[in-house]
Amino acid sequence: MNKLAYKRPEGAPVTRFAPSPTGFMHVGNLRTAIYEYLVAKSGGGTFVLRIEDTDQERIVEGSVEVIYKTLKTAGLVHDEGPDVGGEYGPYVQSERLDMYRPYAEQLVREGKAYRCFCTKERLAEVSESIVGGGYDRHCRDLPEEEIQRLLDAGTPYVIRQKMPTEGSTTFSDLVYGDITVENSELADQILIKSDGYPTYNFANVVDDHTMGVTHVIRGSEYLASTPKYNLLYDAFGWEIPKYIHLPLVMGKNEDGSVSKLSKRHGSTGFEDLIAAGYLPEAIINYIALLGWAPRDNREIFSLSELAENFDTDGISKSPSVFDYDKLSWMNGEYLRAMSPEEFTAVAAPFYDEVFGEQGPDRALLTSILQQRVTVLSQIPSMIGFLAELPDYDTDLFVNKKSKTTLENSPVMLRAVIEAMEQLGSWDHDAIHDCLISLAERLEVKNGTVMWPARIAASGTAVTPGGAIEIFELLGREETLRRLKTGLAKLEG
Ligand code: GLU
């Protein structure tokens, strides 16, 4: 870890992604990370990763690794963070614990905060008698001697901020505009808990200030706490960062209504979406557009193109709906833009799922699939028939457009079998030429030969690729076996 390797560009934005390691990476968290990255990078600035683990009870083992892995796969490279270091560390809250208390003590000395010795029992009683719950400020003006006596007796205490009792606090959010709250509605918030740990509200302000964060981007559930944060910035005389609160990400319900995106709408975690066959680039592109729109109607953006085009004016305050169909469409665009070799590489786990290590030529599979697949997980069901001939009904041989019936299909199949048995080399052109000249000889449409041939070879009504490609993929022996099976079915 080379702590001095990275130097912040002066005067440029500094943003931070501050996840709590409490589970997997949800679409909403990922969008926050993307916008933080984009605000930093579109202004040539610094993107910091900070792990907020002061709520030890909520920590889920392994989630820090998921955070690193997600940022890496998504290409959201952080300039500073626990794993890469930086001048403003440590970047894990639990390693910063010594830093918070002195700031709280400073406010106590300046008369802007106080020690509160109230017991849990007393607090439970008073909070019931106060509208909306809260604290009755019992310890706000304790005499000095009383405080000293309680401290000498080792009485546990918390440190609370003295909130103004009159006036109002207004702050400006880049997305939501000006928001005002009456100070009388704000309880004297706890800064340091009786176990010595800072509250989240206190720690995030101290961290954002001491880490030089210029833009705070977070979910709109934090809007209500922001006035409290600002009163802390004011108490210290620190500059208030710019705020960008993001609306919820919603999911579409079956009845057409929308509600907060959750598992029942589909995959909501980054890793789940990858496992479901979406490409990281497509996921990032799609999520970036969930609540942000460019000035034109362009939709396909790489991460660096997003950084070039991003500006906070394009963020909307109306909740956006996660549309899986749209994501699939976008994913298909990315798949088709790949080289065949790239496609084969990303499709490999899905090819393996069907054939194991073996199976037909993969370049050949790619040639029939790349234009048709939108989500990679569709692959197994699209090509499962190649691994095993499904049981099928002879009705499949009947097709109006190809002029095939239960009567002429066996005739066609017999001719195809005979021709294929005599075919010299087994490749696309040879199979093609052979089937076409067969149709000519029999004086029927090409389709009249191709349709029964494809049905017998696949046992499937809709296949990627036609008879020629399927024959080629199956090889001579398996093709003939299947053609004969089909013929026997028709004759039986
Ligand atoms: N640790 C908080 C969370 O994961 C971060 C909130 C913030 O960005 O300040 O929700």
| Cα distance between residue 224 and residue 329, in whole Å | 37
Question: Is residue 204 situated within a structural domain?
Answer: yes
pLDDT in tens, 386-414: 999 999 999 999 999 999 999 999 999 99
| Cα distance between residue 358 and residue 80, in whole Å | 44
* Ligand 1 pocket, mutate which of 208, 218, 228, 245 (most atoms under 8 A from CB): 218
Q: Which domain holds residue 138?
A: 97-245
Per-residue confidence (pLDDT) for residue 126, from 0 to 100: 82
Per-residue pLDDT, averaged over 250-276, amounts to 92
From the list 213, 214, 227, 237, the residue with the least C-alpha distance to 176 is 227
Per-residue pLDDT, averaged over 25-33, amounts to 94
CB atoms within 10 A of CB 7: 10
Please give the mean pLDDT across all residues of the chain. Answer: 94
The answer to whether residues 239 and 350 belong to one domain is no
259 contacts 234 by C-beta, under 8 angstroms: no
Per-residue pLDDT, averaged over 21-37, amounts to 93
Three-state secondary structure along 236-247? HCCCCCEEEEEC
| Cα distance between residue 113 and residue 235, in whole Å | 9
Per-residue confidence (pLDDT) for residue 257, from 0 to 100: 93
Q: Return the H-helix or E-strand segment holding 225.
A: none
Tell me the CA–centroid distance for residue 384 and ligand 1, in Å. 44
Side-chain-facing half-sphere of 75: CA atoms under 13 Å:
15
The answer to whether residues 123 and 165 belong to one domain is yes
Per-residue pLDDT, averaged over 314-343, amounts to 96
CA–centroid distance for 446 within its chain:
47
From the list 83, 110, 44, 69, the residue with the least C-alpha distance to 308 is 44
Phi, psi dihedrals of residue 133, rounded to the nearest 5°: 75, 170
Our answer to whether residue 326 is catalytic in this structure is: no
pLDDT exceeds cutoff 70 at 2: no
What's the CATH number where 422 sits?
A: 1.10.10.350
The answer to whether residues 380 and 406 belong to one domain is no
The atom of ligand 1 lying closest to the CA of 204 is 9
Catalytic, out of 69, 263, 484, 489: 263
Question: Is residue 90 situated within a structural domain?
Answer: no
| Cα distance between residue 74 and residue 55, in whole Å | 27
Confidence of residue 35 (pLDDT cuts 50, 70, 90): very high
The answer to whether residues 450 and 472 belong to one domain is yes
Per-residue confidence (pLDDT) for residue 133, from 0 to 100: 53
Question: Is residue 293 situated within a structural domain?
Answer: no
The pTM for the full model equals: 0.91
| Cα distance between residue 292 and residue 297, in whole Å | 11
Question: Is residue 180 situated within a structural domain?
Answer: yes
Helix (H, G, I), strand (E, B) or coil at 181: strand
Asked if residue 21 has its Cβ within 6 Å of ligand 1, the reply is no
What's the CATH number where 197 sits?
A: 3.40.50.620
Question: Is residue 299 situated within a structural domain?
Answer: no
Asked if residue 20 has its Cβ within 6 Å of ligand 1, the reply is yes
Tell me the CA–centroid distance for residue 23 and ligand 1, in Å. 13
pLDDT in tens, 101-114: 999 999 999 999 99
* Ligand 1 pocket, mutate which of 222, 225, 226, 232 (most atoms under 8 A from CB): 222
| Total domains in the fold of the chain | 3
pLDDT in tens, 418-460: 999 999 999 999 999 999 999 999 999 999 999 999 999 999 9
The answer to whether residues 369 and 233 belong to one domain is no
Listed residues 194, 214, 245: the one ending a domain: 245
pLDDT exceeds cutoff 90 at 75: yes
Per-residue confidence (pLDDT) for residue 316, from 0 to 100: 94
Listed residues 189, 210, 245: the one ending a domain: 245
Per-residue pLDDT, averaged over 379-386, amounts to 97
